[in-house]
């Protein structure tokens, strides 16, 4: 079992995507919590202490970057990784979000397992 | 004359008849000449003198060839004819003469030569000349106008034809021959309806019934059959043809070949579709990359060595489902992007069509945090129409609604019906339309979008598609509150009945 510092939040409205990330992270011995909306993610943030969060860029009730901002208000130490099929890595809004420290890194869908593992170990 | 017993030549009775004779002669509005056997002029009236600018002294007692131009005497064979009158007591009636003489404007006469007998002997010949210059000029003018009208009809690029009140063809111009391949000879007396390829005979009969009832011009779009078995799309305008008593005596049909316009419309529809695809591109990418990401992850899991058979199965299922989802999205897009072949209208289930169309934009709406409120009637609502075109209309309206709500909102889609029509309303809670723009939104190229972000064609295309379906499209909008577009389409007759 992992300790509290290795608990990871996964926020994506696509359950199969949560499934894929969960499986990958569980193989690394990490524990996860799943949120299918921004509302659920913020609720989980109130209940748990997460070391990292994988966020989709477009959630039905909130923009991923806005969710990142709210999450950082609750837990300023968290590392946020955006996983999206909507943006490109060199999109201005992504570059801005990284330089502002809003997100730690960006991974585009579809992704390789190594990319996820790399940001975990970074 | 024979009954007049003259008595002494200078008696008062004689003087009275002589005056009467002269008055009569002067009053006749034609030229009257009396000519003797030597072709000398014995008597002449004022009408002749005035027309020929002659005086009595230089006319009376002169020979015909001294008074008439030689060319006329020769051409008319005057001398011979007058001789015939004397010899055979013979009338020469109603000959035409063109009178050209130096210094006198050209005149045209009808002339007759009559024998003037005294006790069975032809004493004199009477030449009666009636000036018909004006009549001839008028009839030539009439013919010229007729020729001009005929050449207007014949030169027209549009079909111009006329029929009787029952629709039997009376005239058929060159353009009609060129487009159909049929000559007037082949179609004369044929029923106009038989030459139209439309299957809606009821509609055609209706148009003629309206014209018979005295209604004004009627418009229709019916294909014209061609001799080689093809058909040409034609836009018709039928007008009642009135006779001189203002009674409708027939029908004039003017038809314009729509082939080129149809081609242009198809191109316009296609370019507008591509523009719509551009708007959807972001949503499409997102929607396809999600299942791709799932497939990719599952495939990577399978590649790992020692995984359970059960998990391998699970991964394979995820891959399969993901590929299906992605190809479904692509198939929908392809079907939409393909040029719609204009087919005959067929029965369309509006409920299903709207659901399919909605699925094309759901993702775009989700990205913009737009809530969908759709109330589609559970039972199918069917109309007759062209599915691809109607889908394009609804997609346009949906994308417009989404575009109007960059910061989220509610997109409403309602479908319902009355006895005679189905209605679809698409509403948004977006920025609305300024009152000043409301009157123009259906005009082609009218746009309030910045350059490069809208062609201004979308709504004009919606409008023309709905018109083609004999429907209406209306809008209610309030600035900063949102807009609601309502499309009404007639329900197919079988169902309405």
Order of strands, sheet of B370-376, starting from the edge strand that comes earlier in the sequence? B370-376, B409-417, B421-427, B482-490, B472-478
- Average of pLDDT values for B91-103? 81
Residue B32 pLDDT class (50, 70, 90 cuts): very high
Name all domains of chain A by residue range, CATH numbers in brackets.
4-121 (3.40.50.2300)
Compare all CA atoms of chain A with the CA of B288 and give the residue at the minimum distance. A85
Angle between helix B259-303 and helix A15-27 axes, rounded to 10 deg: 20
Smallest CA–CA distance, residue B281 to chain A, in Å, is 10
| Closest residue to B285, CB basis, from A63, A86, A112 | A86
The yes-or-no verdict on residue A2 having pLDDT over 50 is: no
Per CB distance under 8 Å, which residues of B are interface residues toward A?
Answer: 282, 285-298, 300-301, 318, 321-322, 366-367, 369
Question: Which residues of chain A lie closer than 8 angstroms to B366, CB-CB?
Answer: 13, 58, 60
Order of strands, sheet of A52-56, starting from the edge strand that comes earlier in the sequence? A31-35, A7-11, A52-56, A79-84, A105-108
Closest Cα partner for A13 from A116, A112, A91, A109?
A: A109
A101 and chain B: CB distance < 8 Å anywhere? no
Q: ipTM for the complex?
A: 0.89
Q: What is the mean pLDDT of chain B?
A: 84
CA B83 from centroid of its chain's CA atoms: 63
Question: Which residues of chain A lie closer than 8 angstroms to B307, CB-CB?
Answer: none
**Angle at CA of residue B35, ends B34 and B37, nearest 5°:** 145
Residue B107 pLDDT class (50, 70, 90 cuts): confident
Contact predicate B27/B20, CB 8 Å: no
Question: Which residues of chain A lie closer than 8 angstroms to B280, CB-CB?
Answer: none
Question: Which residues of chain B lie closer than 8 angstroms to A16, CB-CB?
Answer: 291, 294, 318, 321-322
- pLDDT of B2: 45
The yes-or-no verdict on residue B176 having pLDDT over 70 is: yes
Q: Do A109 and B289 touch (CB under 8 A)?
A: yes
CATH number given to B156-257: 3.30.450.20
| Integer CA distances (angstroms), B457 to B264, B364, B462, B466, B476, in order | 13, 21, 9, 14, 19
The Cα B182–Cα B251 span in angstroms is 20
Residues in Cβ contact with B62 at an 8 Å cutoff, skipping those fewer than 6 apart: B40, B41
DSSP structural state of residue A76: T
Secondary structure of residue A73 in the 3-state scheme:
helix
| Closest residue to A109, CB basis, from B293, B318, B366 | B293
Residue B497 pLDDT class (50, 70, 90 cuts): very low
- pLDDT of A51: 94
The yes-or-no verdict on residue B101 having pLDDT over 90 is: no
Residue A113 pLDDT class (50, 70, 90 cuts): very high
Question: Which residues of chain B lie closer than 8 angstroms to A84, CB-CB?
Answer: 286
Residues in Cβ contact with B241 at an 8 Å cutoff, skipping those fewer than 6 apart: B162, B248, B249, B250, B251, B252
* Residue pLDDT, tens place only, B260-285: 888 887 777 777 777 777 767 767 77
Q: Do A85 and B366 touch (CB under 8 A)?
A: no
The yes-or-no verdict on residue B123 having pLDDT over 90 is: no
Q: What is the mean pLDDT of chain A?
A: 90
The yes-or-no verdict on residue A46 having pLDDT over 70 is: yes
Q: Do B293 and A17 touch (CB under 8 A)?
A: yes
- pLDDT of B398: 92
Element (DSSP H or E) covering residue A68:
helix A64-74
Percent of chain A with pLDDT over 70: 96
Question: Which residues of chain B lie closer than 8 angstroms to A113, CB-CB?
Answer: 297, 300
Count of residues making up chain A? 122
Residue B339 pLDDT class (50, 70, 90 cuts): low
Smallest CA–CA distance, residue A86 to chain B, in Å, is 5
The yes-or-no verdict on residue B338 having pLDDT over 70 is: no
CATH class for the domain made up of B12-136: alpha beta
Q: Do A86 and B293 touch (CB under 8 A)?
A: no
Domains B12-136 and B156-257 are alike in CATH topology: yes
A28 and chain B: CB distance < 8 Å anywhere? no
Residue B270 corresponds to which tokens in the numbers above? 């296609």
- Average of pLDDT values for B186-195? 90
Closest Cα partner for B300 from A37, A27, A74, A89?
A: A27
Question: Given 3.30.565.10, 3.40.50.2000, 3.40.190.10, 3.40.605.10, which CATH number is that of B262-496?
Answer: 3.30.565.10
Smallest CA–CA distance, residue A72 to chain B, in Å, is 22
Compare all CA atoms of chain A with the CA of B315 and give the residue at the minimum distance. A20
Residue B299 pLDDT class (50, 70, 90 cuts): very high
Contact predicate B399/B461, CB 8 Å: no
Q: Do B296 and A86 touch (CB under 8 A)?
A: no
- pLDDT of B1: 45
| Integer CA distances (angstroms), A51 to A35, A40, A56, A94, in order | 15, 17, 17, 21
CB pairs under 8 A between A and B: 67
Smallest CA–CA distance, residue A77 to chain B, in Å, is 28
Smallest CA–CA distance, residue B301 to chain A, in Å, is 8
Pick among B293, B313, B314 to test the A interface (most A CBs inside 10 A): B293
Q: Do B294 and A111 touch (CB under 8 A)?
A: no
Residue B449 pLDDT class (50, 70, 90 cuts): low
Q: What is the 3-state secondary structure (H, E, C) of chain B?
A: CCCCCCCCCCCHHHHHHHHHHHHHHHHCCCEEEEECCCCEEEEECHHHHHHHCCCCCCCCCCEHHHHCCHHHHHHHCHHHHHHHHHHHCCCEEEEEEEEEECCEEEEEEEEEEEEEEECCEEEEEEEEEEECHHHHHHHHHHHHHHHHHHHHHHHCCCEEEEECCCCEEEEECHHHHHHHCCCHHHHCCCEHHHHECCCCHHHHHHHHHHHHCCCCCEEEEEEEECCCCCEEEEEEEEEEEECCCCCEEEEEEEEEECHHHHHHHHHHHHHHHHHHHHHHHHHHHHHHHHHHHHHHHHHHHHHCCCCCHHHHHHHHHHHHHHHHHHHHHHHHHHHHHCCCCCCCCEEEEHHHHHHHHHHHHHHHHHHCCEEEEEEECCCCCEEEECHHHHHHHHHHHHHHHHHCCCCCEEEEEEEEECCCEEEEEEECCCCCCCHHHHCCCCCCCCCCCCCCCCCCCHHHHHHHHHHHCCCEEEEEEECCCEEEEEEEEEECHHHHC
The yes-or-no verdict on residue A84 having pLDDT over 50 is: yes
Q: In chain B, where are the structural domains located?
A: 12-136, 156-257, 262-496
């Amino acid at each position: 079992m992992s300790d509290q510092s290795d608990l990871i939040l996964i926020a994506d409205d696509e359950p199969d995507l949560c499934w894929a990330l969960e499986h990958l992270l569980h193989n690394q011995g990490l524990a996860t919590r799943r949120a299918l909306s921004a509302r659920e993610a913020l609720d989980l943030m109130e209940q748990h202490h997460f070391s990292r969060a994988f966020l989709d860029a477009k959630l039905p009730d909130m923009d991923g970057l806005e969710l990142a901002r709210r999450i950082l208000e609750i837990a300023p130490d968290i590392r946020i990784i955006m996983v999206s099929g909507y943006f490109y890595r060199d999109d201005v809004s992504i570059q801005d979000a990284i330089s502002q420290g809003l997100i730690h890194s960006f991974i585009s869908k579809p992704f390789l397992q190594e990319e996820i593992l790399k940001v975990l170990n970074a | 004359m024979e009954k007049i017993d003259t008595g002494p030549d200078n008696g008062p009775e004689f003087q009275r008849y002589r005056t009467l004779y002269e008055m009569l002669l002067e009053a006749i509005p034609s030229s009257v000449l009396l000519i003797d056997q030597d072709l000398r002029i014995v008597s002449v009236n004022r009408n002749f003198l005035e027309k020929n600018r002659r005086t009595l002294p230089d006319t009376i007692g002169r020979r015909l060839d001294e008074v008439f131009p030689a060319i006329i005497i020769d051409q008319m064979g005057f001398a011979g004819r007058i001789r015939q009158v004397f010899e055979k007591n013979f009338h020469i009636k109603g000959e035409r003469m063109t009178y050209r003489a130096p210094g006198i404007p050209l005149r045209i006469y009808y002339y007759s030569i009559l024998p003037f007998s005294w006790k069975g002997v032809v004493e004199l010949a009477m030449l009666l000349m009636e000036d018909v210059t004006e009549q001839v000029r008028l009839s030539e003018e009439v013919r010229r106008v007729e020729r001009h009208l005929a050449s207007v009809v014949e030169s027209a690029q549009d079909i111009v034809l006329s029929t009787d009140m029952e629709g039997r063809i009376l005239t058929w111009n060159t353009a009609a021959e060129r487009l159909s391949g049929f000559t007037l000879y082949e179609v004369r007396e044929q029923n106009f309806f038989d030459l139209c390829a439309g299957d809606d005979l009821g509609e055609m009969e209706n148009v003629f019934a309206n014209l018979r009832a005295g209604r004004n011009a009627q418009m229709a779009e019916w294909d014209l059959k061609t001799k080689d078995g093809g058909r040409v799309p034609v836009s018709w305008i039928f007008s009642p043809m009135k006779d001189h008593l203002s009674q409708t005596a027939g029908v004039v049909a003017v038809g314009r070949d729509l082939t080129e316009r149809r081609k242009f419309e198809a191109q316009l529809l296609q370019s507008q579709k591509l523009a719509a695809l551009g708007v959807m591109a972001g949503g499409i990418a997102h929607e396809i990359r999600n299942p791709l990401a799932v497939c990719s992850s599952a495939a990577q899991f399978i590649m790992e060595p020692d995984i359970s058979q059960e998990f391998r199965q699970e991964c394979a299922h995820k891959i399969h489902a993901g590929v299906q989802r992605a190809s479904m999205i692509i198939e929908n897009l392809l079907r939409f992007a393909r040029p719609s072949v204009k087919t005959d209208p067929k029965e369309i289930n509006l409920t299903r069509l709207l659901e399919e169309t909605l699925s094309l934009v759901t993702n775009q709406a989700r990205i913009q945090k737009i809530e969908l409120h759709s109330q589609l009637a559970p039972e199918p609502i069917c109309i007759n129409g062209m599915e691809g075109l109607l889908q394009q209309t609804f997609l346009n309206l949906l994308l417009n609604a989404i575009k109007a709500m960059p910061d989220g909102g509610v997109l409403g889609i309602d479908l319902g019906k009355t006895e005679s029509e189905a209605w679809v309303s698409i509403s948004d809670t977006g920025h609305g339309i300024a009152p000043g723009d409301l009157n123009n939104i259906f005009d082609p190229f009218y746009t309030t979008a910045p350059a490069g972000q809208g062609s201004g064609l979308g709504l004009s295309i919606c409008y023309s598609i709905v018109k083609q379906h004999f429907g209406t499209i209306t809008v209610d909008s309030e600035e900063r509150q949102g807009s609601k577009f309502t499309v009404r389409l007639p329900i197919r007759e079988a169902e309405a009945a």
